[in-house]
Structure 1
Amino acid sequence: MQRRSFLKLGIGSAVVLAVAGGAVALIQPGLLEGGQLSPAGRNVFAGAARALLDGTLPSDAAAQQTAIDGLLSRINDLTMGLPPHVQGELSQLLSLLDSAPGRIGLAGLGADWASAPVAQISTALQGMRESRLALREQTYSALHDIIGGSYFAGSENWAFMGYPGPTRI
């Protein structure tokens, strides 16, 4: 392939991917107006949380769902307080991760976040963490930091860190 043809193919592919990514973000945003988590955003965070918090989440299914619901509530509070431009970027990222092409291409996860086994999600997240592509590594860092910070912000989870809570005055 000639150099000029290769460049045209690369530019054309980038344009198609940008348009497709923008369309996905408009059709199924990761955040709703005001920064609230959309179903797509909730799906991504709940799935990633099952893997990132494996071992700290309760083993009972009902208790685990309650813990994840509390986590999603705290993440929702966080996203609503972000500046609008950060909300926009996070919304695009979440909508991309929730779509099948984005989930496969960016995270390397074939199954939907809700139905994928924890081991498969963990492998996908580890691949993102160790990736040479800055975008994949930054995506992992964003998920890790938002989920970890929001989970351990709940006083019911402090015991996992050995934190007894603030000193009573």
Structure 2
Amino acid sequence: MVDRSIDHPLQPKRRWFLKTALAIGTVGGALGGLVYWHRGMSNGKLTEHGRDVLRGLTMGFVGPMLPKDKTQRDAIIEGHLAHTEAFLNGMPNVLQIEVNALLGLLGNYPTRKLLTGMGTSWTDASDEQLAQALEAMRLNPLPSTRLTYQSLRGVVCMSFFSNSAHWPLTGYPGPVQI
């Protein structure tokens, strides 16, 4: 005889566990496929989604230093994206893969919404939405999300400030002649 007093309704059953594992695997596989589909770089070149994410991150991180005129700002950002592409290609392959995955995460609506809370694309976002999204990543309780923020901020800022053409925008006159 089976003692039913030990069967607790909150104790998971094998079928429930298998269904849950299958559902989690399906969702994880779908998100992984989306990240691969919308990856940040392909064959050493920034993809459209990678450019979109980096354009938004650039506006979020160094936007106040850029000119107010839209044509000048867009020209500087396009030059910055070309410089960032060269910068990323100079990184070790392991770091390129990691940055590629991070750009893919932020390039897809579901994972962008989870990480930043931003529902619009990076290009269509206002300055206030960009600031809120970056602040949500910076102050997120999950260490992985904060690390994503710090890594991408490092890539954008290192690429931007290492370009001597951007120094006058920041007020830095350049190295002192000795």
Give the alignment's TM-score, normalised by structure 1. 0.87
RMSD over equivalenced CA pairs, Å? 2.2
Which residue of 1 is the match for residue 25 of structure 2? 15
Structure showing greater Rg: 2
Contact in 2 for aligned 1:36/1:79 (Cα 8 Å): no
Which residues of 2 match residues 1-169 of structure 1 at below 5 A?
2-4=10-12, 11-33=21-43, 35-168=44-177
- Taking the aligned partners of 1:168 and 1:3, their CA distance within structure 2 comes to 74
- Taking the aligned partners of 1:161 and 1:40, their CA distance within structure 2 comes to 28
Shift of residue 137 of structure 1?
0.5
SS in 2 for 1:151: helix
SS in 1 for 2:120: coil
Q: How many residues align?
A: 168
* Deviation by residue 1:6-29 (Cα, 9 ceiling, x = unmatched): 866764454233312221133222
Contact in 1 for aligned 2:53/2:106 (Cα 8 Å): yes
SS in 2 for 1:55: helix
Residue ranges of structure 1 left out of the alignment (5+ in a row): none
Task: Specify the code of the residue in structure 2 equivalent to 1:87.
Answer: Q
- Taking the aligned partners of 1:30 and 1:59, their CA distance within structure 2 comes to 27
Contact in 1 for aligned 2:56/2:130 (Cα 8 Å): yes
SS in 2 for 1:4: coil
* Deviation by residue 1:52-96 (Cα, 9 ceiling, x = unmatched): 112101100001001111211111011111222222222122112
Give the alignment's TM-score, normalised by structure 2. 0.83
Contact in 2 for aligned 1:104/1:110 (Cα 8 Å): yes
> What percentage of residue pairs aligned between the two structures are identical?
29
- Taking the aligned partners of 1:85 and 1:21, their CA distance within structure 2 comes to 21
* Deviation by residue 1:120-140 (Cα, 9 ceiling, x = unmatched): 111010011011101211111
